[in-house]
Chain A
Amino acid sequence: MAVSTTSSTVMNNVEAVRATLYEAMKNDDRTIILGEDVGARGNVFLITKDFINEFGPQRVIDTPIAEASIVGIAVGMAMEGLRPIAEIQFADFIYPAFNQIVGEAAKTRYRSNGEYTCPLVIRTPYGGGVRGALSHSVSIEALFYHVPGLKIVAPAFPADVKGLLNAAIDDPDPVLFLEHKKTYRLIKGEVPDGHYTIPLGKASVLKEGTQLTVVSYGLYVHWALEAAQSLANEGMSIEVIDLRSIRPMDKGTILTSVEKTRKLLIVHEDNKFGGIGAEISAMVAEEALFHLDAPIRRHCAPDVPAMGYAEPLEHEYMSSPAKMAGAMRDLVKF
């Protein structure tokens, strides 16, 4: 974390989201939170608990169950000078809002030649490993990754959650902010006090190494780090990069690392086919092919819709530090 302040507080990811939203609500009365159950219930993960009491129902809007218009109304608010933060209760429920995100928010500035803009944050919890089954565990990033006009952020650590969410809120364009729900309470860390931002589109090198570059984001960053550290005991030197922002892609950090290690493994929870790893692979093949000593590999979800509810189905779908270590070991030894 390229942040230096005098003091910090230990938080988990859910607390970091909450603290950052609270700060945004305190600092700017143009900030409006809207979504399902964000008010009296305080969001299903209690992220906005008591916000409605402090900021009032005009700023913390319990919407009807209508995802397309949650985003659509937020787009209209943003076009007319507010700074809405729309919540989709689970990322799996974002599909009805697809057009509002892809066809409207992402194109507002472009189609009006800059006359209208859409400074909007859409937050949503995604990801599995929580027995969320087919409709409470999906990864949605690849569906939006293709879309110019959007920015997509998927932090893994509490300090990054805060810095990137602040940056997303300040950003003059629409940002899709993805929160891995298994990391919500699992991952704790020091979060610098006071206001700071982390630029969108900057990856973070979590662990330096010389034999293999591993690129990941979200929950799998933590598992990739664990796997790389375990392989250090076998004498392998693995570099681990946390993308933090999926789009814009931090091409420079990835290329610099691959040119050094000469091998690349991309690890993500989302499906392999057409996923984020496909784009990174293509980029590295285009820009750094002759630096490579091995084929680029992707360790990702199988080509099935999502993880099943039954424990063995979830287990089969998800990777693990051990599975990741296997993929890393194979590539180091290639």
Chain B
Amino acid sequence: MAKTDTKTQTFARAGLTDEQLRQMLRNMLMQRQLDNRGFQLNRQGKVPFALGSEGHEALQAGAAMAFHRGKDILAPYYRDLGLALGIGLTPYEIMLSIFARADDHNGGRQFPNHYSSKAAGLMSFSSILAAHIPHAVGAAYAIQYRGEKGRAVLVTCGDGTTSEGEWHESMNFAAIHRLPLVMLVENNEWAISTPLDKQMAQPEIWKRAAGYGMPGVRFDGFDPIATYATVSEALDRARSGGGPTLVEGVCYRYLAHSTDDNDMTYRTKEEVAEHRKKDPVPRFEAVLIEQGVTSVDEIAAMKKDVLRETNEATDKAEAVPYPTPSELYTHLYEGAWQPWL
């Protein structure tokens, strides 16, 4: 397990190069900028809805670095901006989703953050929690059945989703068949307004793995290197026929559930402020500066570049037209739509 211990100056980088470490930081900065942009556009009245993953940046940047592009499959949930970026979706594709434009992968049909890209290996999913987890299991089964060595499925969810029956059913089936699957739980302590102690009596989700007969690991989801190390190890095991793993990253949801939520109705400013002290973005910046991987100036330039790219993606996506009304009638079944009545 990698540790980033700035006090003792030991720096376990889990085999990541300086370039990879900087890529992870850039992904984290991009997540924060795009999240911010979504909320801004909502306040400007340009989009009806936005949803952020602030607090999940390190976890997602680290997990995405463990993903093998062109090989692995990602079955994410709706708070996975950093994973989508990290496996290859561009800020422009993200903005098309936010603006619900015609060129969006979903043709502007789905809520923002419900990414889909067959080219990137990102499975389409709905807003119904845990419904995608059996899909990931089915995909992992297909990989195993076809004997495709070196491939695995990374499926993610929040802590709230682990209460669903399909979560259990999926874990059980994956373990029985030793499928090439990694179940990554992003534990941010809140299921909209419901805290962990009302979701489960035993709050360490990773411990459930033992009940299914698979390895379980918990890691600090504010540490991208620890995340990378843990998810990499689990994915490598899955890719080499070692079966599934349950990995739980502990993070925190800094923002309200969405632009339609007011989190001050169920938690306090003090609680959020306490977790802000551990904010993974400045924390990782400090680590990389301290270790000489990057510098204050380089980070400033990186932030400027992230803002530029966000602005360009925003303007470019906003200029794309909406889908035409006739698009309501496409892709229901194969072939042309016909009303059955």
Contact present for B124 and A111 (CB under 8 Å)? yes
Confirm or deny: A80 has a beta carbon within 8 angstroms of a beta carbon on chain B.
yes
Q: What's the nearest-Cβ distance from chain B to residue A95, in Å?
A: 12
Confirm or deny: B118 has a beta carbon within 8 angstroms of a beta carbon on chain A.
yes
Confirm or deny: A42 has a beta carbon within 8 angstroms of a beta carbon on chain B.
no
Contact present for B145 and A108 (CB under 8 Å)? no
Contact of B145 among A82, A172, A247 (CB under 8 A): A82
Residue of B73, B123, B124 contacting most chain A CB atoms (<10 Å): B124
B residues less than 8 Å from A114 (CB atoms): 330-331
Confirm or deny: A138 has a beta carbon within 8 angstroms of a beta carbon on chain B.
no
Residue of A63, A76, A115, A149 contacting most chain B CB atoms (<10 Å): A76
* Distance in angstroms between the alpha carbons of A249 and B172 in the assembled complex: 39
Interface size on A, residues (CB 8 A): 50
Contact present for B333 and A149 (CB under 8 Å)? yes
Contact present for B109 and A109 (CB under 8 Å)? no
Contact present for A279 and B145 (CB under 8 Å)? no
Contact present for B172 and A66 (CB under 8 Å)? yes
Q: Which segment, of A96-104, A224-232, A265-273, faces chain B?
A: A96-104
Q: What's the nearest-Cβ distance from chain A to residue B238, in Å?
A: 15
* Distance in angstroms between the alpha carbons of A107 and B125 in the assembled complex: 10
Contact of A76 among B109, B117, B128, B139 (CB under 8 A): B139
Confirm or deny: A77 has a beta carbon within 8 angstroms of a beta carbon on chain B.
yes
Contact of B172 among A64, A116, A173, A283 (CB under 8 A): A64
* Distance in angstroms between the alpha carbons of A71 and B334 in the assembled complex: 21
* Distance in angstroms between the alpha carbons of A116 and B115 in the assembled complex: 12
Confirm or deny: A19 has a beta carbon within 8 angstroms of a beta carbon on chain B.
no
Interface size on B, residues (CB 8 A): 43
Confirm or deny: B23 has a beta carbon within 8 angstroms of a beta carbon on chain A.
no
Confirm or deny: A32 has a beta carbon within 8 angstroms of a beta carbon on chain B.
yes
Known contacts A68-B165, A116-B118, A251-B341; decide if A111 and B138 are in contact (CB<8 Å).
no
Contact present for B139 and A69 (CB under 8 Å)? no
Contact present for B340 and A69 (CB under 8 Å)? no
Known contacts A73-B137, A115-B118, A116-B116; decide if A79 and B331 are in contact (CB<8 Å).
no
Contact present for A79 and B139 (CB under 8 Å)? yes
Confirm or deny: B170 has a beta carbon within 8 angstroms of a beta carbon on chain A.
yes
* Distance in angstroms between the alpha carbons of A66 and B106 in the assembled complex: 30
Q: What's the nearest-Cβ distance from chain B to residue A175, in Å?
A: 10
B327 to chain A: closest residue by CB: A113
Contact code string A149-161 (vs B, CB < 8 Å = 1, else 0): 1010000000000
Contact of B135 among A104, A111, A151, A279 (CB under 8 A): A104
Residue of A68, A96, A99, A283 contacting most chain B CB atoms (<10 Å): A68
Contact of A113 among B75, B106, B165 (CB under 8 A): B106
Contact present for A283 and B341 (CB under 8 Å)? yes
A57 to chain B: closest residue by CB: B177
Confirm or deny: B264 has a beta carbon within 8 angstroms of a beta carbon on chain A.
no
* Distance in angstroms between the alpha carbons of A109 and B124 in the assembled complex: 9
Q: What's the nearest-Cβ distance from chain A to residue B113, in Å?
A: 13
A residues less than 8 Å from B165 (CB atoms): 66, 68, 96
* Distance in angstroms between the alpha carbons of A66 and B73 in the assembled complex: 24
Known contacts A113-B109, A114-B331; decide if A73 and B134 are in contact (CB<8 Å).
yes
Contact code string A65-105 (vs B, CB < 8 Å = 1, else 0): 01011011111111111101000000000001001100110
Confirm or deny: A117 has a beta carbon within 8 angstroms of a beta carbon on chain B.
yes
Confirm or deny: B217 has a beta carbon within 8 angstroms of a beta carbon on chain A.
no
Q: What's the nearest-Cβ distance from chain A to residue B87, in Å?
A: 15
A residues less than 8 Å from B143 (CB atoms): 80
Confirm or deny: B272 has a beta carbon within 8 angstroms of a beta carbon on chain A.
no
Known contacts A109-B332, A113-B105; decide if A104 and B139 are in contact (CB<8 Å).
no
Contact present for A110 and B170 (CB under 8 Å)? no
Residue of B104, B126, B169, B332 contacting most chain A CB atoms (<10 Å): B169
* Distance in angstroms between the alpha carbons of A293 and B145 in the assembled complex: 59
A residues less than 8 Å from B137 (CB atoms): 69, 72-73, 76
Confirm or deny: A27 has a beta carbon within 8 angstroms of a beta carbon on chain B.
no
8 contacts between A and B (CB under 8 A): A59-B145, A72-B134, A73-B134, A76-B136, A109-B332, A114-B331, A115-B105, A249-B341
